[in-house]
Amino acid sequence: MEYKFSNRVQNLKPSAIREIFKYASDPQVVSLSAGNPSPEAFPINEIREISKKIFEENPIGALQYSISEGYPNLRETLRDYMKKNHNAVTDEDDILITTGAQQIMDLATKALVNEGDVIITESPSFIGSLNTFRSYNAKLVGVPMDMDGMNLDALENALRTNPNTKFIYTIPNFQNPSGITMSLEKRKAVYNLALKYGVLILEDNPYGDLRYSGEYIPCIKSFDTEGIVIYAGSMSKVISPGIRVAYTVAPKPIFQKMVVCKQGNDVHTNVWSQMVCNEFMTKYDYEGHLEKLRSIYSKKAQYMMELLDEYLVPLGITYAPITGGLFTMCTLPDYIDMPNFCKQAVLNKVCVVPGNAFLTDENEECHTFRVNFSTPTDQQLKKGIMLLAETAKKYIK
Beta bridge partners of 327: 372
**d(Cα 287, Cα 183) in Å, to the nearest integer?**
25
**d(Cα 24, Cα 342) in Å, to the nearest integer?**
13
- Of 20, 31, 74, 110, which one interacts with a second copy (CB under 8 A)? 110
270 lies in the binding site for a second copy (CB under 8 A): yes
**d(Cα 20, Cα 362) in Å, to the nearest integer?**
16
Candidates 247-255, 300-308, 323-331, 383-391: pick the segment binding a second copy (CB under 8 A): 247-255
Residues 152-211 that bind a second copy (CB under 8 A): 198
- Give the shortest CB-275-to-a second copy separation in angstroms: 10
- Determine which helix (DSSP H) or strand (DSSP E) holds 246, and give its type and residue range: strand 246-251
Candidates 62-70, 118-126, 303-311, 320-328: pick the segment binding a second copy (CB under 8 A): 62-70
- Of 60, 84, 91, 215, which one interacts with a second copy (CB under 8 A)? 60
The answer to whether 201 touches 284, Cβ cutoff 8 Å, is: no
The answer to whether 186 touches 152, Cβ cutoff 8 Å, is: yes
Candidates 130-138, 183-191, 328-336, 382-390: pick the segment binding a second copy (CB under 8 A): 130-138
- Of 72, 163, 214, 242, which one interacts with a second copy (CB under 8 A)? 242
Residues 13-42 that bind a second copy (CB under 8 A): 13-15, 18, 21, 34-37, 39, 42
Q: How far is CA 76 from CA 32, 94, 119, 274, in A?
A: 37, 10, 31, 12
- Give the shortest CB-104-to-a second copy separation in angstroms: 10
**d(Cα 327, Cα 304) in Å, to the nearest integer?**
10
59 lies in the binding site for a second copy (CB under 8 A): yes
326 lies in the binding site for a second copy (CB under 8 A): no
- Of 73, 90, 183, 265, which one interacts with a second copy (CB under 8 A)? 265
- Of 78, 210, 259, 322, which one interacts with a second copy (CB under 8 A)? 259
The answer to whether 367 touches 355, Cβ cutoff 8 Å, is: yes
Q: Can you list the pairs that 77-80 forms with residues at least 24 positions away whose Cβ atoms lie under 8 Å? A: 77/277, 77/278, 77/281, 77/282, 78/233, 78/247, 78/281
77 lies in the binding site for a second copy (CB under 8 A): no
